Structure 1
Amino acid sequence: MPDSDDRPSPRSAASVSRSVQGNDPDGAGPPSAGRALVILPVLTTHPDDGNAAVRQPDARLSEAIALAQAIRLEVPHAEVIRIARPDPATLFGRGTAERIGGMVEAFHADLVVIDHPLSPVQQRNLERRCMAKVIDRTGLILEIFGERAHTREGQLQVELAALTYQRSRLVRSWTHLERQRGGFGFLGGPGESQLELDRRLIAERITRLKSDLEEVRRTRKLHRSARQRGGTPLVALVGYTNAGKSTLFNRLSGAGVTAEDMLFATLDPTVRRIVLSSGKTMALSDTVGFVSELPTQLVAAFRATLEEVQAADLILHVRDVSHPDTAAQKADVDSVLADLGIDAINDSRVVEVLNKTDQMPATARGALHMRLANQRMMEGEERAVAVSALTGEGLDDLLELLDRRVSAERQVLELSVNLSDGRALAWLYEHGQVLDRRDEDGQAHLHVALAPADAARFESRFVGQESR
C-alpha cells in the first residue's frame, strides 16, 4: 500500500537503518559543518528495466553518506525508506514525513539530506514538517562542487550550475521560503535573512557566466590545436568519483593533484605532459569524476572540460574494481560518455584501467588477470589493464600500452575537400596536423597527418561528401 497518513514504525518503513560514526571521532581535522540525517527513498514500484547493474540500497545509502561527509557533515543516522507511491506533497507521505521530523529531534540534526530529486513543493513541505533544512541529491552535489572548485574555470562552471538549479526553483515556489537560498548556500541555517529573489538579475548573471565559459572553451580549443600541431596526443582520464583517477594521474605525471579517499576530491581540470619510454610525449588530462544521477546542470556547465574527453586520442576509463557496485558505476560512466557522443564499447579509444586491485582478495585478483589475458588472446587488442595506482602494481603494463597506442605512426593522407564544406575542414584542423594546403577550383587540397582512429572517424563522418 502507498505511504499514507498513518504513522509507520521505523522498521516497517525502512529496510536499511544505520547509525553512522562521526567523521572525526578523535576531534582532529576540520570542524564539522553540522549534523545531518541521510534518507534514501527507494520506489518499490520502480522497474529496473532488466539492468543487471542496478545498485543495492545499502550500497546507495553508503554513497549518500559519503557525499554528506565530503563536506564535513556528521551523519548520526542514515536510513532507507521504501515508497510504494510517491506523494506529490512530501514524496513520503505525511506519516513518514512526521517520523523523519521526530528523528531530526532525536538525533539533534540541523539538516536532512534526501538522496532523491525533490520538487520545490516537496522540499518546502518537508522543511515545515521536519523543522529543519532539507536538501536533495542535486543540491548536495552542487554544495560539494561549490566548496571544491578552486580555479576560476571550476568556479565559473559550478556557479553556472548552481544558478541554473536555483532559477528553476525560483519560477515555482521559492518566494515562500523563510531561509536564504542562493549561490552555493544550500546549507544555510535558520535565522538567516530572506534573499530578495530577482529572476532578471540571475538571468543576467547566467548570461555573463556562459559568455566567460565560452571564452574558456575557445582557449581550451586553441590549446588543443597547439598540441595537435605539435603532434602531442591527448589522453583523458574519466571515471566514477573516487575511482582513483587523481592517484593514477599523480603516479603517471608526478603532479601534486589532490588525491583523497573522498568523493569529488578533485574538481579542477589539470593537464600535464608526460614523456614515455619511447621518447614520445603525451598530454594527460584529469577530469571531474562522474556519479550516478549526475545533475544535468553540472553536465551542461562542465561542457568546456568534457570537450577534452571528446577530443582525446585515448580515453582511460578508471574503474574501482574492488567496489561492490563497480558494474553499476561503469554503466553510469558509459552513459555520460554516450551523452558526449562516445560509444564506450565500440570506440577503440576507450581503454579500461581496472584500479584498486590491491583491495581485491588474491583469488579474485588472479581470476581478473586470467580473464584479461584470455581477452587479449581472443580479441588481439588490449582494451583493459589491471593496476593499483596506490602500490604501483600494473603501471608498467599501462605505460607500455600508452606507449604503443600514442606512438602509432600517424597516417599522412592527401585529401581534397570542397571549400564550402566548413565542417569537414574544421574537423581536420581540430583532429589532425595539416602539413600543407593548396586552394584551387573550389577545393582545398591538403596533406594531413591523422591517427589511424581519426582517419577512420573522418571517413565515417564525412563519407559521401567527395572528401577524398
Structure 2
Amino acid sequence: MSESEFVVSGDEFSKELGIDLKEGEEGAAILVGVYSSGRKKAVCEEHLEELKELAETFGVPVVAQMACSVRKIDAATYLQSGKLEEIGSAIKEAKANLFIFDEEISPAQQRNLEKLLKTPVMDRTELILEIFAQRAQTKEARLQIELAQTKYEFPRLKRLWSHFSRQRMKGGYLRGAGETQLEVDRRLLKRKVERLGHELEEVKRARAVQQRARLRSGVPTFAIIGYTNSGKSTLINALTEADVFVEDKLFATLDPTTRKFTLPNNQEILLTDTVGFIRKLPHTLVAAFKSTLEAALHDDILLHLIDASHHMAEEHAEATYAILKKLDNEQQTIITVLNKADLCQDQKMIDRLRISYPKTVVISALEKTGFEQLMEMMMKELAERRQIIKLKIPQSEYVLVGLLRREGNVLYEEYEDEDVVIRAEVPINLLHRFDPYRYD
C-alpha cells in the first residue's frame, strides 16, 4: 500500500456523516468567525472578509458569513450548542456544503463539529495549507507544503476512522479494518514525514551552496517582504522589467524569485520576492518554510511592503512583524514601503504608519511613483554598510578593480608603474578581499 492509499475516502466519510454531496456539485461555503468582550464584532467581520478572499482564492464560492459572540470556548466543539443550532440553520438556509472556521481547531473539535452539523468542516489553517498546495511551483515549495500538510493530517487520522470503532459483534468489540488501518496509516504518515524531512535537507544543502556563492560575490541583496497581496511582485516587475507572476489574489506568489537591478549610482543589487505573510499564518507552514524565509530574510536589507490603500494596513504590518519575531529576525535593517499610495484615501493612516515605522517611503508600484525616493533610501542604507579605504592593486590583479566598480564606488584612481592606486567605498562584507592591498 502506498503512502497515499487509505481505505476510507472522503466521499465515504461524508456518507457516514449523513452529508449528501452530489458528484460534480460545486462547493459553497459558510464562513464563521468569533468575537468576545476583548475583540470587537467589527474586527471579526473584517477578518471574515479576508477569510472570504482566501476561500475564493481556493476556488470555493461563499454563500454566507456569520460573526458569533463567544464567552467561553467549548472544549468539545469550540462553540456552544446554541450557536451551533444557529449555524446549522444557516447552513440549511444557504444550502452550504462546507463550513470554514476562522480559527484553528483541534482534531476532536473538528470531528465533533462535522458530526453535529453533518457538514465538512475546514479551519483557517487547513484552508491556507490547501491554497499553498495549489500554488507551489518549485520542488522545495512543494516539499515544504507536503510536509506541513502531513503534520497537520497526522492527529486527524481518527477523523476518518472513528466510525469504524463503533462496529461490534455479539461477543464484543470487533477489532478489524478500522483500528488496524488507523495504525497502518499512522505508521505511513510517520514515514512520510521522515522522508520529506530528508528530501528537504538535501534541497536546503544545495541552496546553502548557492547562497555561499552569492555572499562571496559581494552583491548586496534586498528581500521584499509583506502581507499577502501587498504588491511585492508588481514592485519587482516595475523595478527590473521582469515577468514575475502577478495576480490580484492572496498568495499569488509562493516561490522566492530573485532578479538583478542596478541603482542610479551604478550599484548592482539583487531583489528577492518572497511568499506573502498573513494573520495567523499556520505554525506548521512557518516551520516548513523557515529555511526558505530565513535565507531571504538574512539578506542585507528588507523592504517591508504595506498596502497603504487597505483599511487594515496597520494590522497587516503588525502581523508581518509578528512573523519576523517568530523567525528571530526583528533586528534586520528594514525600509518600510507604503505601496498603492494612488489608491489610498486615508492620509491620517499613512501619517500613523510613518510615525510607527522609521525609514518610510511612499510609492505606487503600479504607477511607478515614488521610485526616486525609494532608491535614494536604498542607496543611503547601502552606503552606511560601506567603508572608504585606499588600495594599491597590481595590474595583474585588475579583476579586483572590476569588482570594486561593480560592488563599490570608486572615488579616485591613478596608475603608478605596474600598480593601480584606488580610493573607494567598499561594502563591509567585501573588506577582507582587499586586506592584502591596503595602502596608507
Q: Is 1:264 matched with 2:251?
A: yes
Contact 2:340/2:364 (8 A) holds in 1: yes
Aligned partner of 1:274 in structure 2 is: 261
- Give the aligned residue type for 1:406: L
Find the partner of 2:325 among 326, 338, 350.
338
Distance in 1 (alpha carbons) for counterparts of 2:318 and 2:33: 21
List alignment gaps of at least 5 residues for structure 2.
Answer: 1-23, 165-180, 390-424, 432-440
Distance in 2 (alpha carbons) for counterparts of 1:91 and 1:85: 8
Find the partner of 1:224 among 211, 219, 224.
211
Distance in 2 (alpha carbons) for counterparts of 1:371 and 1:138: 29
The 5 Å alignment of 1:38-437 reads 38-42=31-35, 44-46=36-38, 56-170=43-157, 174-176=160-162, 198-343=185-330, 347=331, 349-361=333-345, 364=347, 368=350, 383-406=359-382, 410-411=386-387
Contact 2:336/2:361 (8 A) holds in 1: yes
**Which has more helix, going by share of residues?**
2
Contact 2:336/2:358 (8 A) holds in 1: no
- Give the aligned residue type for 1:364: Q
Distance in 2 (alpha carbons) for counterparts of 1:254 and 1:158: 30
Q: Deviations over 1:99-155 (max 9, x none)?
A: 212222211212110111111121112112222111101011111111111211111
SS at match of 2:306: strand
Distance in 2 (alpha carbons) for counterparts of 1:144 and 1:85: 31
Runs (4+) off by over 3 Å: 45-48, 367-372, 406-413, 449-455
Distance in 2 (alpha carbons) for counterparts of 1:384 and 1:151: 33
Contact 1:55/1:325 (8 A) holds in 2: no
Aligned partner of 2:19 in structure 1 is: none
Q: Deviations over 1:361-396 (max 9, x none)?
A: 2x728x947995xx7xxxxx9711111111111122
Contact 1:227/1:233 (8 A) holds in 2: no
Cα distance change, pair 32–41 in 1 and its aligned pair in 2 (3 A) = farther
Distance in 2 (alpha carbons) for counterparts of 1:454 and 1:57: 50
Distance in 2 (alpha carbons) for counterparts of 1:110 and 1:302: 32
Distance in 1 (alpha carbons) for counterparts of 2:238 and 2:197: 34
Cα RMSD after superposing both structures = 3.2
- Give the aligned residue type for 1:204: R
Identity rate, percent:
36
Distance in 2 (alpha carbons) for counterparts of 1:131 and 1:454: 63
The higher radius of gyration belongs to 2
Cα distance change, pair 328–159 in 1 and its aligned pair in 2 (3 A) = same
- Give the aligned residue type for 2:161: T
SS at match of 2:28: strand
Contact 1:38/1:114 (8 A) holds in 2: yes
Contact 2:227/2:278 (8 A) holds in 1: yes
TM-score, length-normalised on structure 2? 0.74
Aligned partner of 1:37 in structure 2 is: 30
Contact 2:308/2:350 (8 A) holds in 1: no
Distance in 2 (alpha carbons) for counterparts of 1:327 and 1:386: 15
Distance in 1 (alpha carbons) for counterparts of 2:203 and 2:378: 28
List alignment gaps of at least 5 residues for structure 1.
Answer: 1-30, 49-53, 179-194, 376-380, 414-448, 456-468
| More divergent stretch after superposition (115-124 vs 212-221) | 212-221
TM-score, length-normalised on structure 1? 0.70
Residue 45 of structure 1 and its aligned partner are, at CA, apart by 4.6
SS at match of 1:70: helix
Cα distance change, pair 76–336 in 1 and its aligned pair in 2 (3 A) = same
Distance in 2 (alpha carbons) for counterparts of 1:411 and 1:159: 45
